[in-house]
Amino acid sequence: MQWFAHVFGKRKNAAERRPAQIFFTNTLSGSKELFISQRPGIVTMYSCGPTVYGSAHIGNLRAYVFSDTIARALGADGYRVRRVINITDVGHLVGDGDQGEDKMAVGAAREKTTPQDIADRYTKEFTEDLSELNIDTKDIQFPRATDYIKEQIALAKTLEEKGFAYRIKNGLAFDTSRFPSYGKLGNIDLGAQRVGARIEMDREKRHPADFWLWRSAKPNDLQQWDSPWGRGNPGWHIECSAMSRALLGQEIDIHTGGEDHIGAHHNNEIAQSEAASGRTFVHYWMHNAFLMVEGQKISKSLHNDIYLKDIVAKGFDPLALRYFYLQAHYRTHLSFSWNALAGAAGALERLEKFSRDINTESKGKSAPSEARERFLVAMRDDLATPQALGILWDSLKSEEYAPEEKWGLIQDAELHLGLNLTRPSTSNVVESADLPEHIRILLEQREKARVTKDFAAADRLRSEIENGGYHVDDGPNGPVLTMRTL
């Protein structure tokens, strides 16, 4: 069987010839569970994607580094992960529920163009941001909600035919009272919702938790389609149910999103999908906690939003942001500050240097070690990235391990963490032609000192080069100069 080779193929040690046991916290049960995919060796994973009416901020990007970390951990254990991140280009209202302005219309008005144009612009920017964070976008499908209108209408029609929806003057609503387990994700208290914030509730809806499947168009709506319920556009939640079904099937293994999606969006997805299919929609629900700034969640509406381009503009490597995210467990709130990011950038630089040195010392040969096993145990324990990073640091600094063992650990760490450790970033490597004249002279003098084994002079010259704003490392093919970013 092909999957058998896929899952067990790489391991040589007989004791290890069984699939690794990996545990994830499932929001559905609220506890850590052993992960078992529905089909051996294959995982289907859907992540709620961005609403492309503006740039994705670094809170949003935390959600995608999180799902990438899941995919990497599963990939490293031999699974083939089929990934979807949807692109919301219609239907998402500013209030996240059934109220407020349409986000795409807001973006189009702001930039005096069409929703389509806004969607193209910010989808491109989003996938570029992911690539900069070392997320392999070739491995992911990015369906757009407006390309799946037919599927959304078909699903809403099924729900209506099965008696889970009712017509209202301005569209079609899902009847949550017909779905007894509504609110099961995160144990949402429907009673509280009744007296909750939905003041602007549509009066025709029977319950405050009921939500639009289809919304009738207002005369000047820029996005509208024909449907059995008249011209209009889909409610926000139906796109995820329809697209995950179309691309990954009726039952999927993992669904991810930020913690803000648990209450309404994901409970609504469950209600729609399970009411339509009569099957379990998602086996493992996984949610990342918020990225915060000064005690508040980062969000556009709070006007405390920071973007990857701001980080790059300040001279940071985007991977410093990835490292910063990984320092916290995905289920804990993480506070962003420029100082904390600078700390992460410094740590990543030191880790890169360790990796280059170890690569040279080990001549690129790797060996198994107990440190490597401990690293994998941490990652398989609900992606304990802070512990995994701690093990990586301690082991690389330790004299207990041979360079080959350290290089083996770095290789595994790279698969899981995606920090470019086995292929140290060349983005800040400086070609000699681009060097200022005085640094080039210092570099030549240092090379001469090294060749004649005058190490005191070589060290002094290295310090002078560093004072000039450059790091010098001795790679296998001679000195490598990098810009000091901090």
Q: Which residue is nearest to ligand AMP (CB)?
A: 258
Phi/psi at 310 (nearest 5 deg)? -65, -40
Q: How far is CA 15 from CA 8, 20, 368, 373, 466, in A?
A: 11, 11, 14, 13, 49
Is there binding between residue 91 and ligand AMP (CB under 6 A)?
no
We find the least distance from the C-beta atom of residue 244 to Zn ion, in angstroms, to be 8
Is there binding between residue 183 and ligand AMP (CB under 6 A)?
no
Rounded Cα distance, 379 and 377, in Å:
6
Rounded Cα distance, 75 and 288, in Å:
20
Chain positions 252 to 271 lying near ligand AMP, rule: CB under 6 A, are 257-258, 260-261
SS3 274: helix
Given a contact cutoff of 8 angstroms between Cβ atoms, the answer to whether 40 and 3 are in contact is: yes
Spell out the alpha helix ranges (H) of 9-143. Answer: 58-76, 103-110, 115-132
Please identify, using beta-carbon distances, which residue of 213 and 319 lies nearer to Zn ion: 213
Copy the structure tokens of residue 85.
């991140």
Contact code string over 37-66 relative to Zn ion, x by CB under 5 A: -----------x------------------
**Member of 104, 108, 240, 286 binding Zn ion (CB under 5 A):** 240
Measured at the CA of 364, the angle between CA 74 and CA 423, to 5 degrees, comes to 60
Residue 258 interface partner, choices Zn ion, ligand AMP, none, CB cut-off 5-8 Å depending on type = ligand AMP
Please identify, using beta-carbon distances, which residue of 107 and 258 lies nearer to ligand AMP: 258
We find the least distance from the C-beta atom of residue 269 to ligand AMP, in angstroms, to be 12
Spell out the alpha helix ranges (H) of 54-114. Answer: 58-76, 103-110
Q: How many CB atoms lie within 10 A of CB 92?
A: 22
Chain positions 29 to 88 lying near ligand AMP, rule: CB under 6 A, are 48, 50-51, 59-60, 62-63
CA 72 to chain centre: 11
Rounded Cα distance, 436 and 256, in Å:
48
How many residues sit in the footprint of ligand AMP (CB under 6 A)? 17
Chain positions 278 to 317 lying near ligand AMP, rule: CB under 6 A, are 288, 290-291, 297-299
Please identify, using beta-carbon distances, which residue of 104 and 306 lies nearer to Zn ion: 104
Is there binding between residue 270 and Zn ion (CB under 5 A)?
no
Is there binding between residue 140 and ligand AMP (CB under 6 A)?
no
Phi/psi at 318 (nearest 5 deg)? -55, -30
Is there binding between residue 485 and ligand AMP (CB under 6 A)?
no
Residue 299 interface partner, choices Zn ion, ligand AMP, none, CB cut-off 5-8 Å depending on type = ligand AMP
Question: Which residues would be at the binding site for ligand AMP (CB under 6 A)?
Answer: 48, 50-51, 59-60, 62-63, 257-258, 260-261, 288, 290-291, 297-299
Question: Which residues would be at the binding site for Zn ion (CB under 5 A)?
Answer: 48, 240
